């Protein structure tokens, strides 16, 4: 039976069909739906871990404990998990282990566009790159088999277009699940210098075996067509090559670390011109060149951004490989100039509890070190109340560093971080502030969910991935336990209270934490009556538009509130100086 599945749903299905019984992840676009789908199947233990490092560690334990295991994360999550990963390759597995890295070329929803294929080489582990949903599903099973056969974790690397595109997938019955027995083997699993040195040697041996396997892997194949042009490609790029160069011979690589050198050499020998087509880094291209093979053109595809058939066709023309783009990206079709289309950047939702905090921060003209989440949008116009954003949890360390560099900045600097992000990797930063006697003021934007990725549970929500009740961490008690004495909880949609709290805590010569406590507006079903505009009082000053609420617009020089969009959070009332915005009235039955 065939089903239409996204790459992520196919990966979950592949895990089920291959007998995976333990899965762990931290949500992150474009990887999130893998665990969400996996959690729907009975008999699988699937968890949201507090961060990706913990997820990989849980996965290592599950593999040692005898269960086939899948761990998933977005590309930057692997940075967090890199520490266990780099040594996991030394100890190897008991039951099969697959790490799914979902990369985000084009940065649809990410802070960078790193190419995680380099991680597989760096950690010396096998790498699989699916190019559609069917391959994504099949490669999970292959990864687990290889993991057990070669005693190594395996990376399955997808990209946004593989994870979020849907294509037809043949569904099969799940294999029976077998739990392997736990084996105590300290020479293999206890990594300290004495035992790690021989494992380091064993790792190279295993890689040599993998290189041999690569030559005959069923996912590496040569498609002979016209031999005047040969293309080496992998992942989603394969599809673009087939769309743009339907007649070219193709070496399609599904297993890309280690590369099949002999296969590449014989393909190169069989074609007149050889090129490599890949998205982001020249990962394959550099290795092919290091083999001493001549490429007809090098580096002709942009290293930045997402590839698509149009970009590939244009690059091939520019490089002289083809003379016209053919059916793709018709050069002769000139579009009449369109009227200006307004930018539609993502904005904080109507009723978003973060809006009050960012408005207050803007009013106070503070230096704000930011973090990863919906609230990063507080750095965009009109609020523009964020100065920096690097990675999960960075806000607190950055604020502390600014204060240590220049104590005069202390009283003007705050860190803002979401609840899920704080639990992911903000706790250690705050510990540092306390320990090293910093003065940082930290605002935890506690909307009780992982909102950005689509409302996933976390250790503070009181629910697990499966929706079961769980202990919810008490943020206030947690930060007090770290040694923060000044802790207060505020309503972020009360502007006066928010501003006063920020001013007071900045003035204090010690670390302080403000918990801005309000559930995500998209999760709160109880919407208050929409705000009304008193046209007599409105002067058209536009101050209400500075909060960046999608419900507010100006029409005929007067404020206008879209009642269908307004959630009645009443933040705009507090901004209006004329009293022209009026609280909506409760409807009485």
Partner 1 sequence: MKLDIVISGVGGQGSVLASRVLASAGMGLGLDVRTSEVIGMAQREGSVTSQVRLGEKLYGATIPDHEADILLGFELAETVRAVPKLKPGGAIIASASAIVPVSVQLGISSYDQKAMQQYLREQPGRVVLLDLEELAKKAGHPKTGNVIILGALSTLPGLPFEPEQLLQAVLSYIPEKLQNTNKRAFEVGRQSMEVA
Which residues of the chain form contacts with partner 1 (CB under 8 A)?
Answer: 2, 4, 108-109, 132, 161, 164-168, 236, 238-240, 242-243, 308-310, 313, 327-330, 333, 335-336, 338-350, 374, 377, 381-382, 452, 454, 522, 545, 548-550, 552-554
Nearest approach, Cβ of residue 339 and partner 1 (Å): 4
Name the one residue in this structure whose structure tokens are 């523009």.
Answer: 384
Q: Which of 579, 80, 214, 119 is nearest to 570 (CA)?
A: 579
Residue with smaller CB distance to partner 1, 152 or 167: 167
Nearest approach, Cβ of residue 518 and partner 1 (Å): 17
Nearest approach, Cβ of residue 321 and partner 1 (Å): 17
Q: Which residues are paired to 156 by β-bridges?
A: 100, 128
Residue with smaller CB distance to partner 1, 38 or 313: 313
Q: 35 by DSSP, 3-state: which?
A: helix
Q: Under 8 Å CB-to-CB from 385, ≥6 apart: which residues?
A: 358, 359, 361, 362, 366, 368, 378, 379
Query: Which bin fits 483, alpha (ψ -120 to 50), beta or left (φ > 0)?
Result: left
Q: Going by DSSP bridges, is the β-strand pair 532-533/581-582 parallel, antiparallel, or unpaired?
A: antiparallel
Nearest approach, Cβ of residue 430 and partner 1 (Å): 27
Nearest approach, Cβ of residue 382 and partner 1 (Å): 5
Nearest approach, Cβ of residue 254 and partner 1 (Å): 15
Residue with smaller CB distance to partner 1, 111 or 175: 111
**Gap between the Cα atoms of 76 and 397, Å rounded:** 18
Q: Which helix (H) or strand (E) holds 443?
A: strand 441-446
Residue with smaller CB distance to partner 1, 382 or 401: 382
Residue with smaller CB distance to partner 1, 184 or 525: 525
Nearest approach, Cβ of residue 161 and partner 1 (Å): 6
Q: Which of 100, 36, 111 is nearest to 70 (CA)?
A: 100
| Cα separations in angstroms, 41 against 13, 16, 90, 284 | 9, 8, 32, 37
Q: Under 8 Å CB-to-CB from 525, ≥6 apart: which residues?
A: none
Dump the DSSP string for 264-279.
HHHHHHT-SEEEEE-S
**Gap between the Cα atoms of 294 and 367, Å rounded:** 52
Residue with smaller CB distance to partner 1, 203 or 276: 276
Residue with smaller CB distance to partner 1, 344 or 525: 344
Phi (first) and psi of residue 35, to 5 degrees: -70, -35
Nearest approach, Cβ of residue 455 and partner 1 (Å): 9
Whether the bond between 170 and the residue before it is cis, its omega within 30 degrees of 0, is no
Q: Which of 424, 425, 444 is nearest to 484 (CA)?
A: 444
Q: Under 8 Å CB-to-CB from 93, ≥6 apart: which residues?
A: 63, 64, 147, 148, 151, 152, 153
Q: Mapped to the 3 state alphabet, what secondary structure does 390-406 carry?
A: CCCCHHHHHHHHHHHHC
| Cα separations in angstroms, 490 against 353, 446, 498 | 11, 10, 7
Residue with smaller CB distance to partner 1, 308 or 578: 308
Residue with smaller CB distance to partner 1, 236 or 484: 236
**Gap between the Cα atoms of 102 and 31, Å rounded:** 5
Q: Which of 129, 265, 154, 159 is nearest to 210 (CA)?
A: 154
Nearest approach, Cβ of residue 327 and partner 1 (Å): 7
Nearest approach, Cβ of residue 442 and partner 1 (Å): 24
Nearest approach, Cβ of residue 167 and partner 1 (Å): 5
Q: Which of 472, 476, 444 is nearest to 375 (CA)?
A: 444
Nearest approach, Cβ of residue 110 and partner 1 (Å): 10
Residue with smaller CB distance to partner 1, 251 or 414: 251
Residue with smaller CB distance to partner 1, 344 or 587: 344
Q: How many CB atoms lie within 10 A of CB 511?
A: 28
Residue with smaller CB distance to partner 1, 247 or 468: 247
Burial of 44 (0-12, 13-18, 19+ CB in 10 A): buried
Residue with smaller CB distance to partner 1, 63 or 376: 376
Nearest approach, Cβ of residue 559 and partner 1 (Å): 10
């Amino acid at each position: 039976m065939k089903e239409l599945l996204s790459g992520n749903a196919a990966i979950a299905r592949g895990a089920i069909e291959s007998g995976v019984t333990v899965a762990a992840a931290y949500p992150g676009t474009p990887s999130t739906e893998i665990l969400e789908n996996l959690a729907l199947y009975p008999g699988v233990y699937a968890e949201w871990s507090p961060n990706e490092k913990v997820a990989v560690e849980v996965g290592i334990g599950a593999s040692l404990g005898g269960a086939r295991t899948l761990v998933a994360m977005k590309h930057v999550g692997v940075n967090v998990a890199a520490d266990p990963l780099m040594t996991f390759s030394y100890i190897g597995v008991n039951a099969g282990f697959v790490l799914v890295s979902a990369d985000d070329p084009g940065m649809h929803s990410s802070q960078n566009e790193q190419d995680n294929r380099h991680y597989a080489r760096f950690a010396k582990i096998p790498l699989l790159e699916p190019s559609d949903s069917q391959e994504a599903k099949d490669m999970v099973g292959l990864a687990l088999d290889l993991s057990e056969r070669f005693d190594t974790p395996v990376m399955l690397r997808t990209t946004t277009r593989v994870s979020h595109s849907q294509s037809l997938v043949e569904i099969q019955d799940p294999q029976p699940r077998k739990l392997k027995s736990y084996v105590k083997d300290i020479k293999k699993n206890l990594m300290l210098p004495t035992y790690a040195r021989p494992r380091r040697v064993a790792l190279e041996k295993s890689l040599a075996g993998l290189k041999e396997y690569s030559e005959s892997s069923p996912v590496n194949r040569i498609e002979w067509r016209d031999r005047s042009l040969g293309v080496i490609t992998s992942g989603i790029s394969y599809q673009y090559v087939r769309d743009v160069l339907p007649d070219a011979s193709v070496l399609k690589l599904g297993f890309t670390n280690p590369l099949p050198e002999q296969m590449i050499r014989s393909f190169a020998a069989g074609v007149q011109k050889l090129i490599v087509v890949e998205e982001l880094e020249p990962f394959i291209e550099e290795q092919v060149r290091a083999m001493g093979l001549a490429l007809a053109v090098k580096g002709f595809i942009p290293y930045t951004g997402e590839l698509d058939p149009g970009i590939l066709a244009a690059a091939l023309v520019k490089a002289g490989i083809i003379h016209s783009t053919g059916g793709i990206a018709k050069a002769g079709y000139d579009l009449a100039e369109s009227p200006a289309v307004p930018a539609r950047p993502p904005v904080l939702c109507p009723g978003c509890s973060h809006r009050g905090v960012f408005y207050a921060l803007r009013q106070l003209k503070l230096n704000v070190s930011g973090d990863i989440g919906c609230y990063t949008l507080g750095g965009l116009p009109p609020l523009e109340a964020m100065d920096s954003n690097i990675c999960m949890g960075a806000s607190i360390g950055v604020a502390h560093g600014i204060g240590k560099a220049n104590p005069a900045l202390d009283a003007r600097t705050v860190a803002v971080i979401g609840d899920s992000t704080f639990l992911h990797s903000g706790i250690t930063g705050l510990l540092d502030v306390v320990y090293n006697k910093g003065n940082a003021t930290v605002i935890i934007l506690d909307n009780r969910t992982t909102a950005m990725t689509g409302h996933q549970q976390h250790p503070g929500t009181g629910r697990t991935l499966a929706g079961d009740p769980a202990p919810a961490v008490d943020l206030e008690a947690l930060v007090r336990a770290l040694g923060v004495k000044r802790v207060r909880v505020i309503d972020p949609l009360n502007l006066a209270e928010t501003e006063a709290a920020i001013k007071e805590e900045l003035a204090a010569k010690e670390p302080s934490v403000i918990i801005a406590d309000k559930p995500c507006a998209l999760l709160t079903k109880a919407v208050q009556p929409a705000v009304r505009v008193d046209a007599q009082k409105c002067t058209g000053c536009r101050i209400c538009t500075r909060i960046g609420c999608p419900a507010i617009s100006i029409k005929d020089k007067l404020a206008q509130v879209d009642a269908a969009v307004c959630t009645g959070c009443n933040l705009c009332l507090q901004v209006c100086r004329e009293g022209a915005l009026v609280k909506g009235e409760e409807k009485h039955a």
